[in-house]
C-alpha cells in the first residue's frame, strides 16, 4: 500500500438541495493504488459509490467502487467528479473521462446543472425470473433486461409502495432492478435496487436512465423527459436522447472536503 494523503470530496448528485440526491465520494490520486486499497477506501466511506480519479497529460482515468465491488458504469459519481474538477481546478467543459465503459463526457450547462453523455442501453423484453416476481410482490406489467432488469408497475403509487425482499433480489446475480411507472409530476418515476452490489436501494441513479430513457421513448414518444427517483432522499433528472446516446442532467451539491490518510 502506498502511504500518502489524498484529497477527498463528498457531494450529492441529482438532488435539489442539501440532504437530497445521491452522495458520492471523489478521491483524486497521483497514480493508481492497488485494487484492494481502492476497495477498502470505498468500504470505509460506506457510500453507494466512491469515484477514484487519476489525471495524466491529456487523459483523465475514472473508476467507481461500491462498498463491496467495482462497477462498470456510474452516473452520480461521474457527475460529482466533474463538479470537483469544474469548481476546484477550473477544468474546461466538456470534461472527458476514460472508463471501463469507454469515454464519458460531462458538460456544464448555463443554468448551473451538469449533463452526462452516456451510452444508451436499450432494454429488451425477457421472461421474469420467479425470484424477481416474488421479491417485488406486486404485478409486473412489463419486464425488460439490459445491464439491469427493468420492470414497469401500474402507477407512481405502486413504485412508492414497493418493499422488496432484498435477500431474494440478491439471488438474481449480476443485475440490479429498476422499477418504473408513469409519473404524476414528471414524465416517469423510478426506484433502483442492487443488494448484490452492496446497495440495497440507491438514492438517485444516473446510469439507470441509460435504460429508462429509451424505454420511455418507446412508450411515450419524444426525445426529452423529466424523471424523479422516489427514494427517501429523492432524485431529479432531465434526460434527452441524442444520436444514440442519452444526456442526463442534474445538480450537484458539495457537502464536505478532507483527506484520506493512509
pLDDT along the chain (262 residues), means of 10: 86 95 98 97 96 96 96 96 97 97 97 97 95 95 96 98 96 90 98 93 96 98 98 98 97 97 94
Dist. CA 120–CA 96, nearest whole Å: 17
| pLDDT at 2 (0 to 100) | 60
Dist. CA 93–CA 19, nearest whole Å: 27
Task: Write out the chain in H/E/C secondary structure.
Answer: CCCCEEEEEEEEECCCCCCCCEEEEEEEECCCCCHHHHHHHHHHHCCCEEEEEEEECCEEEEEEECCCCEECCCCHHHHHHHHHHHHHHCCCCCEEEEECCEEEEEEECCCCCEEEEEECCCCEECCCCHHHHHHHCCCCCEEEECCCEEEECCCHHHHHHCCCCHHHHHCCCCCCEEEEEECCCCCEEEEEEEHHHCEEEECCCHHHHHHHHHHHHHHHCCCEEEEEECCCCCEEEEEEEECCEEEEEECEEEEEEEEEEC
Dist. CA 4–CA 219, nearest whole Å: 51
Of the candidates 212, 211, 253, the residue with the CA atom closest to the CA atom of residue 233: 253
Hey, how many other C-beta atoms are within 10 angstroms of the C-beta on 174? 11
In DSSP terms, 99 is beta-bridged to 102
| pLDDT at 175 (0 to 100) | 84
| pLDDT at 198 (0 to 100) | 86
Q: Are strands 149-152 and 177-182 parallel, antiparallel or unpaired?
A: parallel
| Residue in this structure with the C-alpha cell 464536505, named with its chain if needed | 256
Dist. CA 25–CA 34, nearest whole Å: 18
Q: So which residues are the catalytic ones?
A: 49
Dist. CA 120–CA 242, nearest whole Å: 10
Of the candidates 10, 11, 23, 9, the residue with the CA atom closest to the CA atom of residue 232: 23
Hey, how many other C-beta atoms are within 10 angstroms of the C-beta on 247? 20
| Residue in this structure with the C-alpha cell 470530496, named with its chain if needed | 9
Q: Which domains does the chain have, with CATH numbers?
A: 5-114+249-261 (3.10.310.10), 124-245 (3.10.310.10)
Quote the pTM value.
0.94
| pLDDT at 1 (0 to 100) | 54
Dist. CA 45–CA 168, nearest whole Å: 26
Amino acid at each position: 500500500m502506498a502511504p500518502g494523503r489524498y484529497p477527498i470530496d463528498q457531494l450529492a448528485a441529482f438532488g435539489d438541495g442539501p440532504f437530497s440526491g445521491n452522495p458520492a465520494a471523489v478521491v483524486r490520486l497521483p497514480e493508481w493504488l492497488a485494487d484492494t486499497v481502492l476497495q477498502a477506501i470505498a468500504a470505509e466511506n460506506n457510500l453507494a459509490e466512491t469515484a477514484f480519479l487519476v489525471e495524466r497529460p491529456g487523459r483523465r482515468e475514472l473508476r467507481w467502487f461500491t462498498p463491496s465491488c467495482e462497477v462498470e458504469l456510474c452516473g452520480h459519481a461521474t457527475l460529482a467528479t466533474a463538479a470537483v474538477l469544474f469548481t476546484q481546478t477550473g477544468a474546461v467543459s466538456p470534461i472527458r473521462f476514460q472508463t471501463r465503459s469507454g469515454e464519458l463526457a460531462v458538460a456544464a450547462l448555463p443554468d448551473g446543472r451538469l449533463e452526462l453523455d452516456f451510452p444508451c442501453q436499450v432494454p429488451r423484453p425477457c421472461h421474469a425470473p420467479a425470484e424477481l416476481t416474488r421479491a417485488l410482490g406486486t404485478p409486473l406489467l412489463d419486464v425488460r433486461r439490459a445491464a439491469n432488469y427493468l420492470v414497469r408497475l401500474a402507477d407512481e403509487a405502486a413504485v412508492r409502495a414497493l418493499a422488496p425482499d432484498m435477500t431474494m433480489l440478491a439471488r438474481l446475480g449480476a443485475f440490479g432492478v429498476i422499477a418504473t411507472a408513469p409519473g404524476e409530476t414528471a414524465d416517469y418515476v423510478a426506484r433502483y435496487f442492487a443488494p448484490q452490489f452492496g446497495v440495497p436501494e440507491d438514492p438517485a441513479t444516473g446510469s439507470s436512465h441509460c435504460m429508462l430513457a429509451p424505454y420511455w421513448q418507446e412508450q411515450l414518444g419524444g426525445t426529452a423527459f423529466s424523471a424523479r427517483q422516489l427514494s427517501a432522499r429523492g432524485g431529479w433528472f432531465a434526460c434527452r436522447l441524442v444520436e444514440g446516446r442519452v444526456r442526463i442532467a442534474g445538480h450537484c451539491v458539495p457537502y464536505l472536503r478532507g483527506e484520506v490518510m493512509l
